[in-house]
Amino acid sequence: MESTPLAASIPPTALPDDLYCNFPATVVSHIVTSSIFRELPEPDVQILASGGLRIPAHSGILASISPVLEQLIDRSRKKRSAEEVISIVGVPSDAVVSFVRFLYSSRCTVEHLEKHGIHLLALSHVYMVPQLKAMCTKDLAQRLTIESVVDVLKLARLCNASDLYLKCMKFVADHFKFVEKTEGWQFIQDHDPWLELDILKFIDDTESRKQRNRRIRKERKLYLELHEAMECLEHICSEGCTIVGPYNVEPKKEREPCSHYSTCHGLQLLIKHSATCKKRTNGLGCGRCKRMWQLLKLHSSICDHSECCKVPLCQKFKQRSSPDDGNKRKDDAQWKMLVRRVVSAKAMSSLSLSNMKMSDVEEERAIRQRRIGSFRLQSGRRQR
């Protein structure tokens, strides 16, 4: 802030008519005439912008909005300067006008944000106007382009706009093949290697996170399929299905398929193969038979009612893995982890299904209430 009077050679510039529109009523209550400018007290401070633009302003309003401007005004008054002048240079004068307009009205049009969003973000950060800063960051995040994202990213880092910085990082990571061809990226490579390193590290972390999420989803799908196979195994051994069933129940080919027919049908074919496999009977071993053996073992590890379970070998597997066994052989860590993940995957699936059902119920209830409301409204109109 400068306390010396402005040079007389600076030509006056016409200010917009709506500069002082919608000023806060709690700050200024002096209403003299119908003119917008004369509704306010006499300006006691001037803002000097680029190109010699002088903007008359009121120290009370500026100090109430910006603590930085309040300190500058107090410092000038302590020096007892003849004329109080605040220099805001380095940005276009139109951006300074939009900034002053926001200080008076707490509003900023979409047109001004689109035209001066970057400069207004810098001004709001320097002069500590959080409301304007939030508006600028939100608007800039919605207007990111391949050409502008690098400049916005650098400004967001300087202005401590963490939300905007993160969105710019994600935008660069999603469109890096195009961003690396821009002039902004070339400038970062030549003058800001630390920012380049941060961006490349963020891209690498994002890709690693995506791969990890894909692996987790794939594993979760596998665990859900295994638990579905366990349910189908119990269903086949207790009730029977289309081609395989318990010895005292004849399978019905005309029976309607169950809810997990694809899994159930594949499991029935596997059981049928294991019953007639020649490699297993000759002791040579068979991959499909080993798979069936592992499914039976997995069922025994999950089953809570092995005493009355109708699945073959369920109780025997329990006795083999029990501590009373002579060999005291326990399942290895990987097998126990598999059992836990199969059970937890089913629990998570059941929880998500219950949440979906609750949301469906709430949606139906809302639709029903809307229908009842419309019916009452129509009946009321008929009575009239």
Angstrom distance (rounded) from CA 35 to CA 316:
96
Give the separation between CA 156 and CA 162, rounded to whole angstroms. Answer: 7
Per the model's pLDDT, the better-predicted residue between 211 and 271 turns out to be: 211
pLDDT, one tens digit per residue, over 290-329 is 888 888 888 888 887 767 787 888 777 777 665 544 444 5
- The long-range contacts involving 3-7, CB below 8 angstroms and separated by at least 24 positions, are 3/76, 3/79, 3/81, 3/82, 3/83, 3/84, 3/85, 4/81, 4/83, 4/85, 5/82, 5/83, 5/85, 6/46, 6/48, 6/54, 6/83, 6/85
pLDDT digits (tens, 9 = 90+) for 118-176: 999 999 999 999 999 999 999 999 999 999 999 999 999 999 999 999 999 999 999 99
Which of the two residues, 318 and 44, has the higher pLDDT score? 44
Domains annotated on the chain, with CATH: 1-143 (3.30.710.10), 144-191 (1.25.40.420), 216-366 (1.20.1020.10)
* Least confident segment among 47-56, 70-79, 136-145: 70-79
pLDDT of residue 350: 66
Q: Which residues contact 30 (CB under 8 A, 6 or more apart)?
A: 39, 40, 41
Q: 3-class SS at 345?
A: helix
In sequence order, what are the beta bridge partners of 363?
none
Residue 11: which pLDDT band, with cuts at 50, 70 and 90?
very low
The pLDDT tens digits for 343-373 are 887 777 666 655 555 555 566 656 555 544 4
Pairing verdict, β 85-87 and 45-48: parallel
Say what the pTM is.
0.63
